[in-house]
Amino acid sequence: MTDLSSSKLSRHIREAKLVAKGLASTKHPILAHVIPMRRCNLACGYCNEYDKVSEPVPFEEMKRRLDKLASFGTNTITISGGEPMLHPQIFDIITYIRSHGMIAGLISNGYYMTRENIEKLNRAGLEYLQISIDNVKPDKVSQKSLKVIDRYLVNLSKYAKFHININSVIGGGIQNPEDAVTVSERAVELGFGSTLGIIHDHSGQLKPLSGREEQVYQKLRRFGKKKFGWLNQFQDDLAYGRSHNWRCRAGARYLYICEDGLVHYCSQQRGYPGIPLAEYTREHLDHEFRTEKPCAKFCTIACVQQVAMLDNWRAPQEPFDIPEAFPKHVNQGDLADEVVRVEP
Percent of all residues in the chain with a pLDDT value above 70, rounded to a whole number = 84
Q: What is the mean pLDDT of residues 44-49?
A: 74
Q: What is the mean pLDDT of residues 42-61?
A: 83
Q: What is the mean pLDDT of residues 24-42?
A: 91
Q: What is the mean pLDDT of residues 278-305?
A: 91
Query: Is residue 207 scored above 80 in pLDDT?
Result: no
**Would you give the distance in Å from CA 191 to the centre of its chain?**
21
Question: What local confidence, expressed as pLDDT, does residue 206 receive?
Answer: 62
Query: Is residue 6 scored above 90 in pLDDT?
Result: no
All residues at 6 or more sequence positions from 256 whose CB lies less than 8 Å from its CB, including other chains:
32, 33, 35, 250, 263, 264, 265, 266, 267, 270
* 217-235 pLDDT, tens digit each: 888 877 654 454 444 677 7
Mean residue pLDDT of the chain comes to 84
- Residue predicted with more confidence, 173 or 325: 173
All residues at 6 or more sequence positions from 116 whose CB lies less than 8 Å from its CB, including other chains:
none
Of 7-11, 254-258, 264-268, minimum mean pLDDT range: 7-11
Q: What is the mean pLDDT of residues 278-300?
A: 92
Q: What is the mean pLDDT of residues 320-343?
A: 41
b (16+ CB within 10 A) / e for 81-103? bbbbbbbebbbebbbbbeeeebb
Question: What local confidence, expressed as pLDDT, does residue 163 receive?
Answer: 95
Q: What is the CATH number of the domain that holds 213?
A: 3.20.20.70
Domain extent for 172: 1-344
pTM for this model (two decimals): 0.87
Q: What is the mean pLDDT of residues 10-14?
A: 81
Percent of all residues in the chain with a pLDDT value above 90, rounded to a whole number = 51
Q: What is the mean pLDDT of residues 260-285?
A: 94
Question: What local confidence, expressed as pLDDT, does residue 190 receive?
Answer: 96
Query: Is residue 123 scored above 70 in pLDDT?
Result: yes
- How many domains does the chain fold into? 1
Q: From CA 21, how far away is CA 24, in angstroms rounded?
A: 5
